Amino acid sequence: MRVFISWSKRVSMEYAIKTKQLLEELDPNIEAFVSELDIVGGENVQVKIIESINACDKLILCFTKETKKSPWLLFEAGYARGCGKTVIPLLFDVDPNWHSWIDNPMNVARELRFSGYRFTSEFLEAFGIKNIAQNRQKVEQYKRAIEQIKDKSRLVDVECQDVIEKLIADSSFHIDNPYYKDKTAFFLTGFESFELYKIITDSFIYSGKYLWFYGRKNMKLFSGNFRSFFKYLQDKAFESQLNMDGIDFRCLFLNPESEEVKRAHMQQEIFVPELHASILRAKTVVNECEALKKCFRLYSGKRDEIIIRLDNCIIYSRPVFDAGGRPQLLTNTGFEVFSVFSERGQKCIKTYEEIWNGAQKMF
């Protein structure tokens, strides 16, 4: 059996090479073609690829989120389908909408999902290889090798991937960003925006455990646009009056009676009424629910960093202060996203806990 393995970009290439090695170890009668290894210097690349697809029995498409809309994958998959070859999309990344970018020629092809619980048996079956213990062990070794490649190539820690992907999918955050450094995603705009709070609250509802806000007046959160989120919190609170049914929601407000209020905003005549109004809205949301009351506190010190914890992900920014020590507006400024388990993430958790423990109960 001849198998053509299609790839695009470095990580997909590494997956392709490991897949070739696996197939040829499983069955010596399988000859797998990977362009990076099987095209020698001086050969016409395009001609060699066409010849190899013509000669193959099956084509594997090494799909990753990075290779979405790759013209090479589309071309090779389309050409193979046109030749009547069996095309097997091998999905290394979870993406429920993978068909949407490759409707033709892939919308009729059954995929193999690397993360699927039946991947080992389905992979062996797809290539007519005996499902015996020795072969299953080889596939398991291959899976561990793929996971090592995934860990090595991640731009951010796995805890943050879902949130970052949601941010990238929203055009509000997609102006030449994010860029990545030291497992941190740097967004150049969008902080304190409605869109950011929408993604945060939507990500938390039904599946989240931790959501902590270190705000001043939290005005956007209590603007009236997040009724479904607070309805969810109320339901959780009434279901379990003691522990919010297992979720850890916390919200810090600046204490309106503190000295810091005088330096918290450039326009006192606007800031102070808005702070009082936002606290009043929070009290309306809480009503007489004892469990929800415990989720709010008032701090009095200077806030020189902004921390939002969404499960095991930190959304972080720092205010810029003027000569008088008053912070500039934060709406649509830049922010960072990194893991709770990173060194910086642990420092943020420690900082938040210290402020929370030193804060005054709001009720």
Strands 306-310 and 210-214: antiparallel
Domains 2-153 and 158-361 fall in the same CATH topology = no
Residue 139 pLDDT more than 90? yes
123 with 136: CB under 8 angstroms? no
Q: What is the pLDDT of residues 309-352, one digit of tens each?
A: 999 999 999 887 776 666 676 777 889 999 999 999 999 999 99
d(CA 271, CA 261): 9
Q: Where are the alpha helices (DSSP H) in 154-308?
A: 161-169, 194-204, 227-239, 268-286, 290-293
d(CA 66, CA 56): 26
Is 3.40.50.10140 the CATH number for 2-153?
yes
d(CA 138, CA 160): 31
Q: Sign of torsion, CA 99 104 108 111?
A: negative
Q: What is the pLDDT of residues 4-21, one digit of tens each?
A: 999 988 899 999 999 999
So what's the pLDDT on residue 206?
86
Q: Give the residue extent of every domain in the chain.
A: 2-153, 158-361
Residue 100 pLDDT more than 60? no
pTM (2 d.p.): 0.69
What type of residue is 110? R
So what's the pLDDT on residue 50?
94
CATH of domain 158-361: 3.30.870.10
Rounded to whole angstroms, what are the CA distances from 14 to 22, 92, 146, 148, 152?
12, 12, 8, 11, 11
Residue 221 pLDDT more than 60? yes
Phi then psi for residue 100, to 5 deg, are -65, -25
